[in-house]
Structure 1
């Protein structure tokens, strides 16, 4: 991307005002100066408020204005009032071409100061009329800022920031069913002195103005990790004098930031900010590399800014808090076009989810699927709570049983284990409390689990685990966070089970997830930062082969994995924590990477998407008429809709099967 501030051609005005050439200001940042002109749309109609937003329809310019006495007003470019929605409004945000039912609307979110409620207005371009579509319930704390975010799924959500520093995200338009909804997705603590917010839909970036600090950037994706970057700061940390009051996102992702006490705007080149963000120790100095100051002559305190970008022309709408007037300016910039990036990762949804675990934080970790051969639809899902113990769920996600046995991390199971005169299915789990392998018997009728005993290990921090079976021999692989792997043979001895260490090997760095292919006697395990390894599962020494490495699509950390069988072939599914996805590899086609998928939210069924997955399990075995192609179960690191402790998501195996078939078909056509 070309540098925006180096590509400035000049600043011109609607009324032919002059531009002062660029120069360095006292902070060392590039500085420009220009004159503003009165906005006719406001002055002709005696409108004063806080927001003047230029919008485009059929190559014609219109203005959306907020007014403390008149509400929200739509005018044409000459100031003729076309529609008005009465009220006492200040804040406003806008998204166009939002389908509801069989109509397309321009969508407005605004705050009615009299009622303290957020209103959702629709602009019907056919008759150029504003109408009320939805009123949100009044919140406990006063709302300070509202801004739209159009999500990748097509849903339209709103961020609501209040005086307590809390930020809430609610979905108001279901983009798949084209209907109005009101579903809380996520809330978090943001900035205590919030003045405004704006979202870049393309990069999923939420920008929040903290008046006395600057502009923060958060991820707008509710499934992302909660973090923030300080994009632009007030002195002494940055170049802005006084408070920051507003932020506007341009179509190329750059920002305009209002600095009233400096009588101007700061233009922030986000691509250059991203390159400079590593150097946090000298923020003021690095800010000069990506920020340009634009002085607005004729405006005493420019409090808010909105922009309409058309090629190299930028039409601004400004509100001046000192004079209580609206102004406009037309800025000519060398703005590079941001090309839309195609996401190579496909999406599917979960049909259900388990009850949340009993504790917040990093708790749920790894699942296993127990197939009830006599009654497949009564199969069960085992899940670990690494703060408490082992959990048992039905196929609808209802918690049936909890065994508090310690901080169990990974779990796996096998069928038909014999101990004395008893035969039962057996599960093994890595127990970080006792640094051992915890064993459980699974009852053959209902799948209930019973703790049997622990097999001690000499590992300092037991972590990942999987099982392997060869005829009547049952093995457990367990690893340590330091990279050590151990293989134990389960040895029946009267009425107890002992563990015999039969093999040990080392991984270069931290491993966790693993899965054994009993039929082909192979072990697959993940090295979190590197990729996937394959080695014999038999207790003999053999060099492991690195069969898949992390990439821009299959991103570290590599965590849980399972094998799906289809048409006599094997497909390894592995979680990629770095981009909340799952990679699929054709093991019988030289371990070819086929593609990746994400598990997205199902808004209608109120099942959120999946992020930061630790463990997973998959089976191709039929679990009844509803799940004829098996089941995929994955741990969900961030449980939204609404925020709750972690849980596990259940995905119909048919969806995974269809993805694999599609990828195989594409590979044949290449």
Structure 2
């Protein structure tokens, strides 16, 4: 028997949905023939490209099956299974499915050449029914499993890396999904998850573990779109989606165009009453297709002569890993903001990381991230440190933070032996909405605080405390056109770098008696994406680098700290599965030092604020990264 959708000899013509009113040159054709009539399966899949022509099936009755092109069984994993997805892992295939008897999701390795299944790895039992699942591999070869549950419950789990499955899967995050979702698929290259909502349409979500939870409609049901009755299973190809309307027995083709999806064609599936499962694999001429009719369980195979146009993808950035992280801050929401590193003058291993909580105050952590001190002095935003400040008759190290409760500068002394923080006073400012702060200490040893407000105003204060009471003398004022925040001073070259969030980074003379002439360092663009946030300097005997938080794409840009400020590349802080530390995203402030702090920090340390704490999901915190990892990732000299 042959079912054909070919526009000739009176056969049914494919129904075409035109893109933005423009007629296509030719309608896509889909030719199907029945396949493996004696098979009783619940889900089907094709092996990943280059691993052979065989197929996969999940059956409630017969288990997980490896089948040849005629449907003959080649290997079986006994049990009762439903739902199915796979990814290549070298010459093996990693397969995900649902064990119906145990009501658990599982991962198992398959060797197609030897026709043998490995030992399954199970996810913990969930407290909700799991309707479907799909796999996702990110740019660092981490393998994740998405679970689609009832009543809008969804989860993302870390299940492996490269060709290896983790013996203990780790929950990364919860994901609110549509209440009637059953199917999902991920385009790994585009980091895009697509989920169905049966009575509404198909939705696209960012799949990356550090991504914000947002969704974009792919296609909607009538009267808002061209879907006649229901949004069912889908399969993704680069730049395109092929999706089923099971109740109308139609196949929809969509091409991605920027941030929206354009309908390319709608193909009728006569003879099929409820096409439920769909699997695709690219061929030279189009797509190899497998379909299952849930009404009678029959399977069909064929060719679809349609190819989506791949869309440009974001460049793949190097990943580095944090090896420790701070305790989560004590406030919910957007709380943690800016770190600073205090270096112990005699015992570097006893150095501390300070961090602001803009809903509470100032925190101090050891190099393993344990909270040592908490000073609830108000909504502190940014913080910076300089050594050897004369506080009356004492010599202390000084931390200064921008206090948004009082539009002031909050000063803290740091005991040079114990590292203990103490409040040292407050300096009022005329800023109406104080934001960022950084310190400048020229060779003369005096310390200047440079604060900014959201209106673009910068105020430079000379700090002193001859009688033990801190004072601030306003010595310079200048302005940028829009909202700034991050800034850092190069004490050696007497240069100030400042970030204008939607514009880029500027350099200006840091000396109070010099004109504040702005010179562009880097503009917002493809590499540095708004908002421009934290700025820090890595300064060594041989090379100085400016490190910038590119918040718009969750990355960090490294430039030479001297003109012409050449770019050395960009990187992301990815998850560290072995240590159970998630990656960093939506970073506000950061800090870096080249000082040898011992152990993994012998070549310096990078600290970044993490705007989305995951694995497990908690309040925000700070991630600690060995600078040696950045050097290696970017191949720095």
Q: Shorter-chain TM-score category? A: over 0.9
Equivalent in the alignment of 2:612? 638
Report how far residue 67 of structure 1 moved: 2.3
Equivalent in the alignment of 2:571? 597
Report how far residue 33 of structure 1 moved: 8.8
- 1:110 and 2:110 equivalent? no
Equivalent in the alignment of 1:391? 363
Q: Between 183-192 and 509-518, report the one with greater CA deviation.
A: 183-192
Aligned equivalent of 1:547, options 505, 509, 521: 521
Equivalent in the alignment of 1:20? 13
- 1:290 and 2:263 equivalent? yes
Give the Cα separation in 1 of the matches to 2:251 and 2:413: 68
Aligned equivalent of 1:263, options 234, 249, 269: 249
For the 8 Å contact 2:384–2:400, the answer to whether it is kept is yes
Equivalent in the alignment of 2:389? 417
Aligned equivalent of 1:152, options 122, 133, 139: 139
For the 8 Å contact 1:557–1:577, the answer to whether it is kept is yes
Equivalent in the alignment of 2:205? 218
Aligned equivalent of 1:39, options 30, 34, 40: 34
- 1:304 and 2:304 equivalent? no
Q: Between 329-338 and 349-358, report the one with greater CA deviation.
A: 329-338
- 1:404 and 2:376 equivalent? yes
Q: Name stretches of at least 5 consecutive residues in structure 1 with no aligned partner.
A: 1-10, 278-286, 665-670
Deviations along 1:574-616, whole A, 9 cap, x unmatched?
A: 1111121111121234222222122222111112212111111
For the 8 Å contact 2:536–2:548, the answer to whether it is kept is yes
For the 8 Å contact 1:439–1:453, the answer to whether it is kept is yes
* SS of residue paired to 1:356: coil
Report how far residue 133 of structure 1 moved: 2.0
For the 8 Å contact 1:56–1:62, the answer to whether it is kept is no
Equivalent in the alignment of 2:602? 628
Q: Between 518-527 and 55-64, report the one with greater CA deviation.
A: 55-64
Query: Structure 2 matches for 1:519-668, cutoff 5 A?
Result: 519-540=492-513, 541-658=515-632, 662-663=635-636
CA separation of 1:447/1:73 partners in 2, compared to 1, >3 Å: closer, same or farther?
same
Give the Cα separation in 1 of the matches to 2:266 and 2:49: 31
Report how far residue 54 of structure 1 moved: 2.8
CA separation of 1:82/1:607 partners in 2, compared to 1, >3 Å: closer, same or farther?
same
CA separation of 1:516/1:20 partners in 2, compared to 1, >3 Å: closer, same or farther?
same
For the 8 Å contact 2:390–2:464, the answer to whether it is kept is no
Instruction: Give the alignment's TM-score, normalised by structure 1.
Output: 0.88
* SS of residue paired to 1:292: strand
* SS of residue paired to 1:361: coil
Give the Cα separation in 2 of the matches to 1:488 and 1:176: 57
For the 8 Å contact 1:389–1:407, the answer to whether it is kept is yes
Equivalent in the alignment of 2:480? 507
For the 8 Å contact 1:69–1:88, the answer to whether it is kept is yes
Report how far residue 19 of structure 1 moved: 6.2
Give the Cα separation in 2 of the matches to 1:635 and 1:33: 49
**C-alpha RMSD of matched pairs (Å):** 2.6
Deviations along 1:136-183, whole A, 9 cap, x unmatched?
A: 222110001100001211121100011131211111113386654411
Query: Structure 2 matches for 1:161-176, cutoff 5 A?
Result: 161-175=148-162
Equivalent in the alignment of 1:668? none
Q: Between 120-129 and 505-514, report the one with greater CA deviation.
A: 120-129
For the 8 Å contact 2:531–2:550, the answer to whether it is kept is yes
- 1:50 and 2:24 equivalent? no
For the 8 Å contact 2:451–2:459, the answer to whether it is kept is yes
For the 8 Å contact 2:144–2:157, the answer to whether it is kept is yes
Report how far residue 621 of structure 1 moved: 1.7
Give the Cα separation in 2 of the matches to 1:581 and 1:655: 15
For the 8 Å contact 2:14–2:268, the answer to whether it is kept is no
Give the Cα separation in 1 of the matches to 2:592 and 2:48: 50
For the 8 Å contact 1:169–1:185, the answer to whether it is kept is yes
Equivalent in the alignment of 1:441? 413
Equivalent in the alignment of 2:220? 233
For the 8 Å contact 1:566–1:657, the answer to whether it is kept is no
For the 8 Å contact 1:19–1:33, the answer to whether it is kept is no
Report how far residue 627 of structure 1 moved: 2.2
Deviations along 1:389-425, whole A, 9 cap, x unmatched?
A: 0000001111000000000000001111112222211
CA separation of 1:533/1:133 partners in 2, compared to 1, >3 Å: closer, same or farther?
same
Aligned equivalent of 2:306, options 326, 333, 347: 333
Deviations along 1:277-315, whole A, 9 cap, x unmatched?
A: 3xxxxxxxxx6x434211111111212211122122322
Report how far residue 478 of structure 1 moved: 0.6
Give the Cα separation in 2 of the matches to 1:365 and 1:453: 22
CA separation of 1:518/1:161 partners in 2, compared to 1, >3 Å: closer, same or farther?
same
Report how far residue 663 of structure 1 moved: 4.3
Query: Structure 2 matches for 1:448-487, cutoff 5 A?
Result: 448-470=420-442, 471-487=444-460
Equivalent in the alignment of 1:4? none
Instruction: Give the alignment's TM-score, normalised by structure 2.
Output: 0.93
For the 8 Å contact 1:34–1:297, the answer to whether it is kept is no
Q: Between 593-602 and 129-138, report the one with greater CA deviation.
A: 129-138
Equivalent in the alignment of 1:7? none
For the 8 Å contact 2:18–2:264, the answer to whether it is kept is no
CA separation of 1:567/1:441 partners in 2, compared to 1, >3 Å: closer, same or farther?
closer
Query: Structure 2 matches for 1:86-101, cutoff 5 A?
Result: 86-96=78-88, 98=89
* SS of residue paired to 1:262: coil
For the 8 Å contact 2:57–2:65, the answer to whether it is kept is yes
* SS of residue paired to 1:655: helix
Query: Structure 2 matches for 1:269-284, cutoff 5 A?
Result: 269-270=255-256, 272=257, 274=258, 277=260
Report how far residue 129 of structure 1 moved: 2.8
Report how far residue 648 of structure 1 moved: 0.8
Give the Cα separation in 2 of the matches to 1:37 and 1:595: 49
* SS of residue paired to 1:409: strand
CA separation of 1:17/1:330 partners in 2, compared to 1, >3 Å: closer, same or farther?
farther
For the 8 Å contact 1:516–1:524, the answer to whether it is kept is yes
Deviations along 1:409-455, whole A, 9 cap, x unmatched?
A: 00001111112222211110001111110010111112111112211
Q: Name stretches of at least 5 consecutive residues in structure 2 with no aligned partner.
A: none
Give the Cα separation in 2 of the matches to 1:339 and 1:311: 21
